[in-house]
Structure formats: structure tokens, C-alpha cells
Chains A and B, each alone.
Chain A
């Protein structure tokens, strides 16, 4: 179709821009993958499965689980005593989160309940173990030696760097994940949420609340868009 006609929309604004350049990094990722496949370490289909897993999961199952627990005492008891079964109720099967098993996501999951006097935060001091079937991929900072080393030594200081100031009367417990154990925080339901539906509650259960570096707050949702970088090409 010819575009030299006069019409009522601007083509520059109908399509999101994309990077029209093949980077060395993109090429390197493909090359490494192909060489590993040719070496017989895994198949292309396995890689596709794992990539699909990485792309599909998000914070929703975890948020849904906690929201449900806030509303249903029986479900909350189940989540705290048999979290693997509770996870199935929000669509997560830890035995086969990707459909054929993952190497590091085992079924020893514990959900850590915050109280008025105890606040939990999770870490993997050794590497980057994380409850991915529930929470998706770990954030970059979770993987850094900075966080891993310091949260276990100076949890209040590190939490304050995330903007979370806890009263002196609240004990902070840092739970260290490992190859066999995964943890997730069940924060306290905040004031100002009376009468809220499960969907409304799930919206304020952001990833960081479930790691324990933030507290759920009415009005702060996973849908809040924050400016992480100034506009590259401001219009």
C-alpha cells in the first residue's frame, strides 16, 4: 500500500520503535546455545521450554496466593503448613513448573508469615535461589553479591536502602534460600483494605513485598509505572 497519501493517522506513532540492528551480544547468545546443543548438553526443544517458562511466569500466582490467604483463614493455614498444595490452587505445580522439571526448583517451599513483631526477608547468600514458579525471575539486585552478603549482616540497613524503615520493636528474620529450599514472605494485610476483593488485594502484593524488601500499601500496585530512565528520544 502506498503511504504517500494524506490520511488521518501518523505512521510514526502507530508502531512502537524497535532496535533494527544485530548486536554482538545477540549473536553470542545464539552461538553459545547452538554449540551447547551440538555438544548434546540439551536439545533445542528443552531450551525452548525453559525460555517459555522464563517468559510466561510473573508475580501473579504468588500475589494471588497471599491475597487468597488474607481472605480465607483455611487457605492461609494450608499455605503455611502445606505450601506446595496451596500453590496448586493458584495454578503452580512445583513438581513440574516448566512441564518437565527444573534443576533447581525443588519442592521444599516455606511461606514465611509476617506478624506485628516479626518481619521476614529472603535471600540466597550462596548464589541466586529464588521461588521462581511463584515469583518469576529474580530481580537483578537479588543476584548481586552486594545484596546477598549485606542483607544477612545488616538487614535493617539494607532494607532502609530499599526505603523500608521498620520500627525497632519489629524483629527482622533473614531466611537464606539454598539448592533445596525456597522461601516466600506472606506480609501482613495493610490497613485501608477492608472489603477489598481478592483481585484488589493481589494488585498491591508486588514482587518486592513477597521478597520482603517492601510492605504492601494501598495505592501501590504492580501496575504503577515508574520512570526508570529518562526518555531516550523525547518528543
Chain B
């Protein structure tokens, strides 16, 4: 898959109105960043740490993709939502994560968090 190709499932998420500025305004919260941001940092660090493992993306690929995707497919999203979406896009387009598997997992996790 070409890293530039759009990914429908991610486009749907990107179009949601749940970005952190919108959430913060809706609930009167003044944190600058969403609570999942440091976990995302942990995720990217852990991926970079694993970069020598076969079947993952390298640090440079991840950051280059992030720059390119944040300026194209996810240009309408604020930071760090654009960083998260770019990472998801990279992992799918480079074959690290399977799109269908991710779609199923999203439903499972949402059900778990709402239980």
C-alpha cells in the first residue's frame, strides 16, 4: 500500500468532532493536551525502541510520514490528534497493523471502556 493512499476508516475518525479543543470547550477543561498524549509518546518511544525488530517501521519512516500526513490527509486536525492519526496511517500503510484487525479492535475497546 502506498503510504500516501487515504485510509477510509481513519478518515472517518479524523472527521469526528471529538478533537481535544472541542472536548475541552464542551466540558470546560483547561488542560492543553488530551490525557492520552503521554501514552502516545510512550507508544512512539516504544516503537522507536523496537525499530530494529523486523516488521515494524523505523524512526525516520515514522517521522517522515508524520510530517507528510499531518500536512495532507490530517491537515484539518490539531496536534496531537494529527500525530496519532499519522501514526495509525503509517502502521497500516506499512503493514505493521492490519486495517480490519484495527477496526475490530476499536469496537472491542470502546465496548470495554463503556462497560
Q: Which residues from chain A sit less than 8 Å from chain B, CB to CB?
A: 16-36, 39-42, 46-55, 98, 101-104, 126-128, 137, 140, 145, 179, 228-229, 232-233
Contacts and interface: CB of A to CB of B under 8 A. Distances in A.
B53 A32 contact: no
Given A18-B27, A29-B36, A36-B96, A47 B42 contact: yes
Given A30-B109, A42-B46, A103-B45, A36 B34 contact: no
Contacts, number: 163
Interface of B: 13, 16, 18-21, 23-30, 32, 34-36, 38-43, 45-51, 53, 55-56, 59-60, 63-64, 67, 71, 79-81, 84-85, 87-88, 91, 96-97, 101-102, 105-106, 109-110, 113-114
A137 B38 CA distance: 10
Given A36-B47, A53-B45, A140-B79, A31 B102 contact: yes
B79 to A, nearest CB: 5
A12 to B, nearest CB: 10
Contacts of B34: 23, 25-26
Q: Which 5 A-B pairs have the closest CB atoms?
A: A51-B42, A23-B18, A50-B42, A54-B41, A50-B45
Nearest to A34: B105
A16 to B, nearest CB: 8
A149 B115 CA distance: 47
Given A33-B39, A53-B45, A25 B81 contact: yes
A20 to B, nearest CB: 7
Contacts of B46: 36, 41-42, 46-47, 50
Nearest to B32: A228
Nearest to A141: B79
Contact of A29 (B43, B67, B71, B97): B43
Nearest to B64: A127
A25 B45 contact: no
B63 A127 contact: yes
B91 A20 contact: no
A212 B27 CA distance: 36
Contacts of A55: 38
Contacts of B105: 31, 34-35
A19 B27 contact: yes
Contact of B88 (A28, A50, A52, A228): A28
B21 to A, nearest CB: 8
B43 A17 contact: no
Contacts of B114: 22
B53 A41 contact: yes
A203 B84 CA distance: 33
Contacts of A101: 49
Contacts of B36: 25-26, 29-30
A48 B45 CA distance: 11
Contact of B39 (A29, A46, A128): A29
Contact of A27 (B23, B32, B39, B106): B106
A18 B35 CA distance: 10
Given A19-B29, A25-B18, A51-B39, A102 B109 contact: no
